Amino acid sequence: MARAPFHINGTEIPAGTRATVDLPAAQLYTHTPLTIPVQVIHGRQAGPVLLVCAAIHGDEINGVEIIRRLVKQAGLRRLSGTLIAVPIVNVLGFIDRTRYLPDRRDLNRSFPGSESGSLAARVAHLFKTALLDKSTHVIDLHTAAIHRANLPQIRANLADPVTRRMAEAFGVPLVINAGFIEGSLRHTAHARGIPVITYESGEALRFDEPGIRAGLKGVLRVMRDLAMLPPSRARRPAPRPQYAADSSTWLRAEQDGIFRATVGLGARVKKGQALGWISDPFGEKEQPCEASISGIVIGRNNLPLVHEGEALFHIARFDELSRAAEHVERWAEGLEADEPGPAAEPPIV
């Protein structure tokens, strides 16, 4: 018996086919309609409905490239289940190269939304009803905010066994056991019983090739673990260890000035260690930025001009700190040396 078609926004996608659907999201004051682009790949065989989305924050563009590469994978011809790929959720923010919507609201604090609320609430409601409610699993792709960078990491609720398995299958070395923020997509999905993981890597308005490759591989690993794709033909290495952090903290600037960072992403740091310095232009008033805990740097500020109280380093605490740091270093070296993909398409530099 043939699998039933998949329906979205009045479009019918038969089993074994794919279609691009435009969800009407808003209308500009020029009378120009604005839509959220969605590509649905509906496999011939039954299976999960995986929603992979990016650019909920309009300036976080790494995920857009991950999804572009994802939908080009030849293996999707053998897909079981359904892949819903949404490269640009916040189309208004994406056009304006900004995190927010024109009303300055954060779309990822506006879920589940409403039909009659703010612009952000309406877009969130559309996304939830048209896409999230049809999904069984979610991978949400993010980067750090403007002028910051994140080490590749997964944020997930590890108390849920299905979510934990997705986080482990993704394959990056560090997982942050993160609580839920009210109004976020992750919070809304969890409330509906839909397991969701968030992948963080890179910085806003920048492509990061290693982070993109890690993200693509991670999504494909999750799809194989969900039996949406057949197992990889490549010889699989022994499972790599994964380290979960239950807490993290931001190191903030104690004075205004010019910031000189001396440690990078993935660095192991000790409590009290100087991670950089802040000084005035003449260096007459200089202050070290000392780590408040021992841990691994999972995020950092890339802008040298800082104000008092500004976040500089995001440090995660691990029980097995030495092993976690060594594993991050080996993983990063392997990723840099890895083949980027087909020779016909060179990596982004």
Residue type, 39: Q
* Residue pair 260/276 in contact by the 8 Å Cβ criterion: yes
| pLDDT reported for residue 241 | 66
- H/E run at residue 197: strand 196-202
> Token pair 């057949």 is at which residue?
230
Per residue in 75-86, pLDDT tens?
999 999 999 999
- pLDDT-based confidence at residue 1 (cuts at 50, 70, 90): confident
- CA quadruple 60, 65, 70, 73: dihedral, nearest 10: 180
* pLDDT reading at 58 higher than 60: yes
d(CA 21, CA 5): 14
In the chain, what's the furthest Cα-to-Cα distance?
Answer: 78
| pLDDT reported for residue 135 | 98
In this prediction, what percent of the chain has a pLDDT beyond 70? Answer: 95
Nearest partner of 176 among 187, 164, 191, 190, judged by Cα:
164
* pLDDT reading at 24 higher than 90: yes
Looking at residues 86-98, what average pLDDT do you find?
97
- H/E run at residue 67: helix 62-70
Q: Where are the domains of the chain?
A: 6-225, 246-336
The contacts of residue 164 (CB under 8 Å, 6+ apart) are 156, 158
Mean model confidence pLDDT for the chain: 93
| pLDDT reported for residue 320 | 86
Domain 246-336, CATH class in plain words: mainly beta
- pLDDT-based confidence at residue 288 (cuts at 50, 70, 90): very high
Q: What is the DSSP string of 123-161?
A: HHHHHHHHTGGG-SEEEEEE---TTEEEEEEEEE-TTSH
d(CA 125, CA 115): 6
d(CA 34, CA 52): 21
CA 37, 223, 232 angle in degrees (round to 5)? 125
* pLDDT reading at 341 higher than 90: no
- pLDDT-based confidence at residue 329 (cuts at 50, 70, 90): confident
User: Which CATH code of 3.40.630.10, 3.30.365.10, 3.40.50.10490, 3.40.1390.20 fits the domain covering 6-225?
Assistant: 3.40.630.10
* pLDDT reading at 211 higher than 60: yes
* pLDDT reading at 72 higher than 90: yes
* Residue pair 12/5 in contact by the 8 Å Cβ criterion: yes
Looking at residues 14-25, what average pLDDT do you find?
96
Q: Is 9 left (phi over 0), alpha (psi -120 to 50) or beta?
A: left
